[in-house]
Amino acid sequence: EVQLTESGGDSVQPGGSLRLSCAASGIIFSSHWMSWLRQAPGKGLEWVGNIKEDGSEKYYVDSVKGRFTISRDNAKNSVYLQINSLRVEDTAMYYCARDMGAFDFWGQGTMVTVSS
Amino acid sequence: DIVMTQTPLSLSVTPGQPASISCKSSQSLLHSDGKTFLSWYLQKPGQSPQLLIFELSSRFSGVPDRFSGSGSETDFTLRISRVEAEDVGVYYCMQSKDLPRTFGQGTKVELK
């Protein structure tokens, strides 16, 4: 059974930083692109960025470039999202997902709240 | 960026009746390899999104055959042949032909 488990969400002040983690099991993690997505409260889905199997390529949506960094540790079957200079508009549920072009497996999400 | 536009934004359906959702893209999603990179997701209340359809019309593992996807380069449709209670939630289309991946606004489906 495939499982993706996110962690690291928290309530932080604007300008703060967080590191989100996503641990995978049930898949050959090192063989797959992985994506991060987010969903603001009551809003739709937004793709944040993705990372290639070996971590050599990363892509981001324009609104997070320079502030968000995706990384992975294939030895730990984990992908990470470092979020810096947090803004109120970054408040959202953050999901990781296996990226096969389509997102076939999703985690349960971890909530990030940015508020003063 | 490719803009995805869904209609309607909400749908009230009698159980057992069909339903359809339209999705239009601002650019063709037909890749040179012949694949169309359009997928559909359902987010049930309080849950993570789940994949229903990928590459225009392929049902993901375990998805009931009452769900079907169709369309062409920029116009797409998700059909539910007979809506069941478990089908309520918000449906999203998404393109993965180009980066950034982009989603439609979502269509909320509820039962009458």
pLDDT bin (cut points 50, 70, 90) of residue B21 is: very high
Residues of chain B with pLDDT > 90, as a percent, come to: 100
Average pLDDT over residues A95-114: 98
C-alpha span between A97 and A106 (Å, rounded): 4
Q: What pLDDT is stored for residue B60 in this prediction?
A: 98
Query: For A68-104, how does the pLDDT look when each residue is reduced to its tens digit (9 = 90+)?
Result: 999 999 999 999 999 999 999 999 999 999 999 999 9
All residues of chain A having their beta carbon less than 8 Å from the beta carbon of residue B103 are: 44-47
DSSP assignments along B33-69, one per residue: TS-B-EEEEEE-TTS--EEEEETTTEEPTT--TTEEE
Q: Which residue among A60, A95, A102 sits closest to B96, beta carbon to beta carbon?
A: A102
Q: How confident is the model at residue B49 (pLDDT cuts 50, 70, 90)?
A: very high
> What per-residue confidence (pLDDT) applies to B89?
98
Q: How many CB pairs under 8 A join A and B?
A: 54
CA distance B104 to B9: 10
- Over residues A14-58, the pLDDT tens digits come to 999 999 999 999 999 999 999 999 999 999 999 999 999 999 999
Task: Say if the Cβ atoms of B48 and A62 lie within 8 Å.
Answer: no
